[in-house]
Amino acid sequence: MSELSVSHLLGIKDLTPKDISFIFDTADHFKEVINRPIKKVPSLRDITIANLFFENSTRTRLSFELAQKRLSADVVNFSAASSSVKKGETLVDTVNNILAMKVDMVVMRHPLAGAGVYLSKKVDSVIINAGDGAHEHPTQALLDSYSIRQELGEVAGKKVVIVGDILHSRVALSNIYALQKMGAEVKVCGPKTLIPKYIESLGVSVELNLEKALKWCDVANMLRVQNERMDISYFPSTREYVDQYQLNAGVLQKIDKEILIMHPGPINRGVEITSEIADSSNAIILDQVENGVAVRMAVMYLLASKIK
C-alpha cells in the first residue's frame, strides 16, 4: 500500500481495513522513534498544523500536540474559551481566518456531530477529527485497536465488549467501526437507557448483564459515564450503576479468566472501574496513552503526504 484512500480523517467509517493496517504498520515505526534518546523526526518540518479545540480536552490535545512536535511540525493552538467564537464568529470564518495564515492541516474537536465533515467541504485544508459530539473519535478508536493488536498479536477474531455509556460515546461508535473492519466481534453492555435503540443494525450484539459479557470477551473497554452530556437521568443513581456495571475484583473473580482491560480516559475511579483494577497488570490504560502518540504521528504523517 502506498498511500491512504482518504484525504481527511473524519471518521473510521471512511477508512478501509487496508488503510487501518497501513496506519498501524507506520505507527509501529513511530513507536520505535518515540523510544529513541532523541524522539524527533523531521518529516513534517514544512507543515503547519492548527489544533482547534471547541470543546475541552486534556489528553487528546496533548497527545496530538506531542505527536506534531515529534514530527517537527509547527503548531498553533486554539481553544474556544478564549476566542472570537464567543463574539459570534462562525466555524467556517474562524477556520478560514486561521488558514489565511498558511496553515496546512487542522485538528478539530467540536461539540457538534458532523462538524469535521462540514468543515472538510468548506475549507481547503486537511482535516483530522479529534472528536465531534457523540459521533466519532477516530484516533481514539485507532489507538484502541492498535493497543489490542500490540497486546494480543492481532485484532481479527478477538471478542471485545464495550461497557458503559454507549449512547453518548463517540469512542464507542468509532471503536465499533474499527474493530469490525479489523475482523473483531463486538458486543456492547450497559444500562438499557444508555444503549442506542438500533445499535444492532451496526452488527453488534447487546448484553445487559456485565458478568455474562465479561465471560464472553477477550477485551473489555470500559467507557466513562458522560454526565456532562446527560440532560436527563438515565439511571436511578450512581450507586446503582456501580452495583450493576462497575468493573471490580469481585466480578473479575467470578468470570475466572484473564481479560485485557482498556479505558479511553479520563477515568471516574470508583464508578465504572475501581482503582485496584485500573492499576492492575491486566489494564493497559497507560499503554493506550503511549500508543496514542505513535498512532497520531502515523495519521498526520500519512495525511501530510497528500498536501501538495
Partner 1 sequence: MDIILKSTFVDPCLLCIFDLGVFTTYNYTMNPKVLLTSKEIDIILHRLACQLIENHLDFSNTVLIGLQPRGVFVTQRIAQLLTDCYGVKDLKIGSLDTTFFSDDFRRKGSPLQANKTLIDFIVEDKNVVFIDDVLYTGRSVRAALTAIQSFGRPSSIEFLTFIDRRFSRHLPIMPNYKGRKVDAIADERVEVRWRENQGEDIVYLVK
Q: Among residue numbers 247 through 306, which ones bind partner 1 (CB under 8 A)? A: 301-302, 304-305
Work out which of 5, 18, 32, 154 binds partner 1, going by CB under 8 A: 32
Least distance (Å) between residue 290 CB and partner 1: 18
Number of residues that bind partner 1 (CB under 8 A): 23
- Residue 269, φ and ψ in degrees, nearest 5: -60, 135
Work out which of 12, 43, 125, 252 binds partner 1, going by CB under 8 A: 43
Work out which of 29, 192, 254, 269 binds partner 1, going by CB under 8 A: 29
- Residue 77, φ and ψ in degrees, nearest 5: -110, 150
Work out which of 41, 62, 152, 206 binds partner 1, going by CB under 8 A: 41
Tell me: does residue 239 bind partner 1 (CB under 8 A). no
Say if residue 266 is preceded by a cis peptide, omega within 30 of 0: yes
Tell me: does residue 18 bind partner 1 (CB under 8 A). no
Tell me: does residue 202 bind partner 1 (CB under 8 A). no
Least distance (Å) between residue 170 CB and partner 1: 28
In the complex, the residues that contact partner 1 under the rule CB under 8 A are: 1-3, 22, 25-26, 29, 32-33, 36-43, 301-302, 304-305, 307-308
